[in-house]
Structure 1
Amino acid sequence: MEHSLKHSISFFGLIALGAGGVIGSSWIYTNSQFFKTYGAGGEIFGLLAAACLAVLVSLSFAELSTTFSRSGGEVVYGYAAFGKKGSLFAGWALLGAYISTLAFYVTASSLLISTIFPQIAIGPYYSFAGVKVYLTELVIGIAIMLLVFLINYFGAKLTGRVQILMFLLLVVLGLSLVVVGFSRGNVANFLPAFSQSQDKVSSIFRFILPAMTFLTGWESVAIMAEEAKFPKKRIGTVVILSIVIAAVYYISVLLSSAWVYPWQQTAGMQMGTIDAFKAAGFPILSVFAYAISFLGLATSAMTLFTAASRLVFSLARARILPQRFTKVHPKYGTPVNALWLVLALVLGMGWLGKGALVYFLDMGGFLVALAWSFSTFCLLKIRRKYPYLDGGFKNKHLFFPTFGGVIALGVAGLTLIPGTPVSLVWPYEYIILAIWCGFGLVSYFTQKGEQSVSEEFMGADSQLLNSKNVSSNPKEVL
């Protein structure tokens, strides 16, 4: 039986979901800590380097998303290239990254509110990793995530419209900070961009991993390609635009905060850009920065929740997860059971609270790096197996996406080696990673299904793959 999602997301809706999904919350107030650790130059230039890496990697997604428009994105590419094992690897990596980030938002939302209403951080609590989790904070975080769930439940069309509105507000508020920051600030507040104790190259390199977590979310464009109501050949353009728009937004706002007020002093503050504009004499813009943090949290949570549910839906189509998760609401056209599972996973991790914030960010960065690199290998394999495929966006040369994939794989590898600047935290993050991998393997071996490309999983794309003879000539890859 065919389980299809509705074509209900407009071109601008998908851009808002892609770019808005990247623009998160914590970057605008954690830059005080990042300025202190890496210098303003380390964070801003490290973010720029990560954005360049993301654009290179996105070239793979851009081509593949126009060729295969089935829901699931890299889950589908992995299936077409390497079969069921490839589908599991890609889907489980991205799903783990998205769930980790959403669990981060459960705590981050209440953390933001407590800066205005500190009284919520009182009363009954429990501790995790030596940090108190107040029940009031947890309830607020859960309530916000339930709202995100409900908007997703009632259809991608509603999700897209809400996302467009929030994204436009983000742009207006961000432009206000940038215009005032650069017109009323001074380059002397930014230079020198590093303190004397900070090594420039090391600081930039060390920030790439958390920056990759900040840049997560544009993959959702490919994941939701099936629901686009415009020609699929334009989806690749949306993929790249999402990264470029989000990266320009991040860098412009962060640089404006270092321009309007000395970044060395911002490094000693609690709320980064929010405090910097207030200290510079612009209290209204400080409120704008605070609003950006909430809107960024909402847009990112909305996109990642939507994308995570489609990953579950696609994995179920591939018979890696139980078939019950392919159920589509007859009226709203949304994968209802997949949405419920994502909600359960997010809340199941979100209760860990502020003590697990670093774990969530590090795990998200590692899994995203894996998924990014794997997309390149999928492109190389599919080009070799199916050289006749052309969805309308095709890389003339494979050097750039391959280079991006190799770099992403190198970053992922370094996180597993103890003692490197980007190593996972021993033993907690390694344990979490092992548990997540264990769940994926259990699901893989307990679900029965065909190893070949199936009509149910690939839909019309299955006929596309089988419509011509497969070439084995490696020269056709180049």
Structure 2
Amino acid sequence: MNLEKPNPKRPTLQKDLKRVGFFTLAFGAMIGVGWVTALGSWLQQAGPFGAALAFVVGGAVMVCIALCYAELTAMMPVAGGEVAYAYRAFGVFKSFLVGWCLAFGYIAISGFEAISIGLVLSFLWPATDRWPLYSFAGSTVYLSHLLLALICTAAITFIHLRGVKQAARLQNFLTFSFLLICALFVGAAFMVGKPGNWQPVFASTEQGMLAGFLAVLITIPFWFVGFDTIPQAAEESANEVPARTLAKLIIASVIAATVFYVLLILGLSYAGPWQQTAAADLPAAKAILFALQSPLMMNLVLLAALIGLFTSWNGFFLAGSRVLFALGRGCIIPTRFGETDQQRGTPAAAIWVVALLTVLAPLMGRQTLISLVNAGSLFISMAFFGVSLSVLKLRRIAPDASRPFRVPGGSVIPFIAALGSAAMIIAMVLPGSPVALSWPREILIVACMCTVGALLWRLGAKSRVSASDSERDYLILEIAGQEKH
């Protein structure tokens, strides 16, 4: 279809993100803080080599998904990423579904990080647990934790309102500090440990070694959520970052995360007999304490965890606001979400919405937020599946469209990515799976979020009829004449 440039003004974002900023955004969002406690379960289920192998295999599947993202991001470097991909491939409604799945998943993680500050700090300074207010769903809610969440959310909101350059500077500083600290304690672990500590290299469970390996493998994709923050911010790339480079950065971030997890597992299990540290509350920290007999080095591990919390929070806060902004700018939900600060070029309205929900989330307590994140993981997996299908669909309906980066091997890798994403979804809804959503809390959360999504869709009805198809093409894709169906 041919069309003229539409009349509505298209809100634009500040273009200040550079190569390093994109990489730290994705890598920092992926790493986060969960490894501090999850290391023990990985080792108990699969052993050091089994867990490392699971991350290599799982990482390879995630690279396939990342390749799909890379092709579409280079093809459509606009805010909201997946919102645009689904819109061009499948139309308005499926674009909304993908966007809502991502927005819920990202904001749930943002709220989880807010309440987790108090928990991580309490490992370093136990006095952080002050002034208990009430218990909710088995978790005690402390006033001190709520105040920390409020202060840190206000700080992150202020930074993001000032501009993406400031958010990127924070992410760069935090991520490189994190890597430096991790290099210190993982390097120390390899220096003082011995190969015998790896024995047995594979854990043996009642179901056998393969069962333990698969138990870890099935959880791997959820440790890589975060590379998809690059597509959300693609529109904000500085002129020096070509679309093809964005594609390569997505893939590089997933590979780097895989290397990090493998080195972490092998290094900390090398430091001392892994059976002794795996059962500890904080196995990563206890492994360093056992090997070096140094509380200072153990606290360095906890400091890395605290920094990782902020890198993850900063990344998902940005991603959540960009998804809401893209939906609002495209007249899919109320257009207020798509408004920008004219001076700073930031999606101010969407940032305030994410900030408000992030501040309110800790009131529900840590256990409820864990359930929200688990439910959000299902929604993000659905978005991964949608992106994989979008690649296949656009290859068919827009074969001649410009693709600065193209997934090699024809449709094989997108097909593997779709299968991998579908496996993630099935694993989360299949009773008895190690990552199955729990009944009733997490299943009810999914039902509630579907209801909220339906209400948001209804609220956006007037916005959707306010824009013609050609106008929406321009607002979402910034280009004209795209065959979507």
Q: TM-score, normalised by structure 2?
A: 0.91
Q: Spell out the pairing of 1:120-159 with structure 2 (5 A cutoff).
A: 120-159=128-167
Report the secondary structure of 2:479's partner residue.
Answer: helix
2:420 aligns to what? 407
Please say if residues 184 and 260 of structure 1, whose CA atoms lie closer than 8 Å, have aligned partners that are also in contact.
Answer: yes
| Residues 454, 262 of structure 1: alpha-carbon distance in 2 compared, 3 angstrom cutoff | farther
| Residues 45, 138 of structure 1: alpha-carbon distance in 2 compared, 3 angstrom cutoff | farther
Residue 324 of structure 2 corresponds to residue 312 of structure 1: yes
Deviates more, 1:354-363 or 1:232-241: 354-363
1:165 aligns to what? 173
Deviates more, 1:170-179 or 1:228-237: 170-179
- Provide the C-alpha distance between the structure 2 equivalents of 1:471 and 1:146, rounded to a whole number of angstroms: 40
1:212 positional shift: 2.4
- Provide the C-alpha distance between the structure 1 equivalents of 2:359 and 2:48, rounded to a whole number of angstroms: 34
Match for 1:170: what amino acid?
F
CA RMSD of aligned residues (A): 2.2
Match for 2:191: what amino acid?
S
- Provide the C-alpha distance between the structure 1 equivalents of 2:284 and 2:146, rounded to a whole number of angstroms: 25
Q: Give CA deviations for 1:104-129 in whole Å, capped at 9, x if unaligned.
A: 21222110111122223243321112
Deviates more, 1:201-210 or 1:274-283: 201-210
Residue 479 of structure 2 corresponds to residue 463 of structure 1: yes
2:182 aligns to what? 174
Alignment match of 2:242 (pick from 231, 234, 239): 231
- Provide the C-alpha distance between the structure 1 equivalents of 2:118 and 2:46, rounded to a whole number of angstroms: 27
Please say if residues 177 and 253 of structure 1, whose CA atoms lie closer than 8 Å, have aligned partners that are also in contact.
Answer: no
- Provide the C-alpha distance between the structure 2 equivalents of 1:345 and 1:430, rounded to a whole number of angstroms: 21
| Residues 387, 464 of structure 1: alpha-carbon distance in 2 compared, 3 angstrom cutoff | farther
Alignment match of 1:17 (pick from 15, 25, 35): 25
Q: Give CA deviations for 1:432-464 in whole Å, capped at 9, x if unaligned.
A: 011111111222233231597544564494535
Match for 1:463: what amino acid?
I
1:38 positional shift: 5.1
Alignment match of 1:422 (pick from 430, 435, 438): 435
2:290 aligns to what? 279
Please say if residues 386 and 465 of structure 1, whose CA atoms lie closer than 8 Å, have aligned partners that are also in contact.
Answer: no
1:147 positional shift: 1.7
| Residues 211, 138 of structure 1: alpha-carbon distance in 2 compared, 3 angstrom cutoff | farther
2:104 aligns to what? 96
Alignment match of 1:211 (pick from 220, 223, 247): 220
1:35 aligns to what? 43
Please say if residues 22 and 218 of structure 1, whose CA atoms lie closer than 8 Å, have aligned partners that are also in contact.
Answer: yes
In structure 1, list runs of 5 or more residues that go unmatched.
Answer: 473-478
Alignment match of 1:47 (pick from 39, 52, 55): 55
Q: Give CA deviations for 1:248-276 in whole Å, capped at 9, x if unaligned.
A: 11221232111111111112222121121
- Provide the C-alpha distance between the structure 2 equivalents of 1:429 and 1:412, rounded to a whole number of angstroms: 14
Alignment match of 1:394 (pick from 386, 389, 406): 406
- Provide the C-alpha distance between the structure 1 equivalents of 2:201 and 2:149, rounded to a whole number of angstroms: 36
1:87 aligns to what? 95
Please say if residues 121 and 306 of structure 2, whose CA atoms lie closer than 8 Å, have aligned partners that are also in contact.
Answer: no
Count residues with an aligned counterpart: 469
Please say if residues 63 and 236 of structure 1, whose CA atoms lie closer than 8 Å, have aligned partners that are also in contact.
Answer: yes
1:382 aligns to what? 394
Please say if residues 134 and 141 of structure 2, whose CA atoms lie closer than 8 Å, have aligned partners that are also in contact.
Answer: yes
Please say if residues 80 and 453 of structure 1, whose CA atoms lie closer than 8 Å, have aligned partners that are also in contact.
Answer: no
- Provide the C-alpha distance between the structure 1 equivalents of 2:231 and 2:397, rounded to a whole number of angstroms: 21
Q: Give CA deviations for 1:354-407 in whole Å, capped at 9, x if unaligned.
A: 222541342233222211111110111111111111231012322012212212
Match for 2:423: what amino acid?
G
- Provide the C-alpha distance between the structure 2 equivalents of 1:94 and 1:460, rounded to a whole number of angstroms: 17
Deviates more, 1:307-316 or 1:87-96: 87-96
Residue 341 of structure 2 corresponds to residue 333 of structure 1: no
| Residues 460, 356 of structure 1: alpha-carbon distance in 2 compared, 3 angstrom cutoff | closer
% same residue: 26
- Provide the C-alpha distance between the structure 1 equivalents of 2:48 and 2:127, rounded to a whole number of angstroms: 33
Residue 298 of structure 2 corresponds to residue 289 of structure 1: no
Deviates more, 1:303-312 or 1:137-146: 137-146
Alignment match of 1:439 (pick from 452, 466, 476): 452
1:476 aligns to what? none
Q: Spell out the pairing of 1:39-78 with structure 2 (5 A cutoff).
A: 39-41=47-49, 43-78=51-86
| Residues 204, 196 of structure 1: alpha-carbon distance in 2 compared, 3 angstrom cutoff | closer
| Residues 30, 246 of structure 1: alpha-carbon distance in 2 compared, 3 angstrom cutoff | same
- Provide the C-alpha distance between the structure 1 equivalents of 2:379 and 2:216, rounded to a whole number of angstroms: 16
Q: TM-score, normalised by structure 1?
A: 0.92
| Residues 341, 209 of structure 1: alpha-carbon distance in 2 compared, 3 angstrom cutoff | farther
